[in-house]
Amino acid sequence: MPSADTKDVAAHAMHLVDYRDAATIQHVPTRNGFGEGLIEAGNRNKNVVAICADLAESTRMEGFKKAHPEQYIEIGVAEQLLVAMAGGLAAAGKTPWIASYAMFNPGRSWEQVRTIMALNESNVKIAGAHAGVSVGPDGATHQAIEDIAIMRVIPHMMVVVPCDSVQTKKATIALSEKFGPAYLRFARDKSAIVTTEETPFEIGKAQTFRDGNDVAIVACGILLYNALVAAEELAREDGIECRVVNNHTVKPMDEGAIDAAARECGAIVTVEEHQVHAGMGSRVAEIVAQHHPVPIEFVGVQDQFGQSGEPTELIEHYGMGTAAIKAAARKAYKRKS
């Protein structure tokens, strides 16, 4: 087990905020980071355009609309057309971002995403807003908890699930500058900010936010904060030192980081606000099975639909809270013994 000094090495290297002090943690919606990043991407490159399906305020494209009105298009509620129009603009040399709720884009427009975007390797970027059960009162029809699965299976598609609003801004800018079809997934409700402007970010490069060699907790999206809190509590309560990996790029996933986690920790817990079937955790399991099989436990939605409720209430109800992560880590630790 690492010493108290060693445990903090990863956090210092990543320039994280002190996530152990709950009173000082700021909570900001990840969608805000998308809006800020899109404006900056438009500042850097006038070929960046934004197309929205009548949800500019909700998806945070509204700021881009005001900052770059000549680069903004509103098409109304027509998600399949959204993809088709973006494909045409990409063919003409533009870098289109298209935005709607994730349940409708890529959910409703999946065939167009597959054929127009991916088959043609079109430089279109999808902003999938309001993903996960943390949409809250909107209920099952609006809670995209299958979107990682349907996107990661498409050839050529990049899939990125940043952990907080600061990282969402960085991911938006990075994807705007990287050629190829991409899906950026983010949430509606406020969530903890754990990274800073100095925290490095690179598409396809996972990040160790906490050191430990007993169990590796591999997380993506806003549940990364829950994973960090769970790791600190496990250290105090059980003496189990968990490595916490921010696995923000689901595709292409950082196979080296996953293999190292398996070899050095001997057990893995995956954490995502998504169905456990075919999501981020399933890709982790595929990598582990190929390189170094170890016990794995999966934290996520267990083959159910969502329902209406408060975001934090739903996270707990569907077994994605801190207590559930700790239970999974204890189980994984026991299995490797």
Q: Which residues belong to the active site?
A: 79
What's the rounded Cα separation, in Å, for the pair 135 and 318?
13
CB 151 within 8 A of CB 157: yes
User: What is the side-by-side order of every strand in the sheet holding 125-129?
Assistant: 72-74, 48-52, 95-101, 125-129, 182-185, 158-160, 249-251
Burial of 5 (0-12, 13-18, 19+ CB in 10 A): exposed
Looking only at the bridges linking them, the beta strands covering 215-219 and 268-275 are parallel
What's the rounded Cα separation, in Å, for the pair 300 and 221?
12
Looking only at the bridges linking them, the beta strands covering 27-29 and 190-192 are antiparallel
Angle value at C-alpha 306, between 300 and 312, nearest 5 degrees:
70
Q: List all residues 6 or more positions away from 233 whose beta carbon is below 8 Å from its beta carbon.
A: 322, 326
Max distance between CA atoms of the chain, in angstroms, equals: 61
What's the rounded Cα separation, in Å, for the pair 172 and 33?
8
Find residue 269's DSSP bridge partners: 217, 297
Identify the H or E element spanning 79: helix 79-91
Nearest to 234 by CA among 334, 315, 319, 312: 334
Find residue 190's DSSP bridge partners: 29
Annotate 118-137 with b (16+ C-beta within 10 A) or e (fewer).
beeebbbbbbbbbbbbbbbe
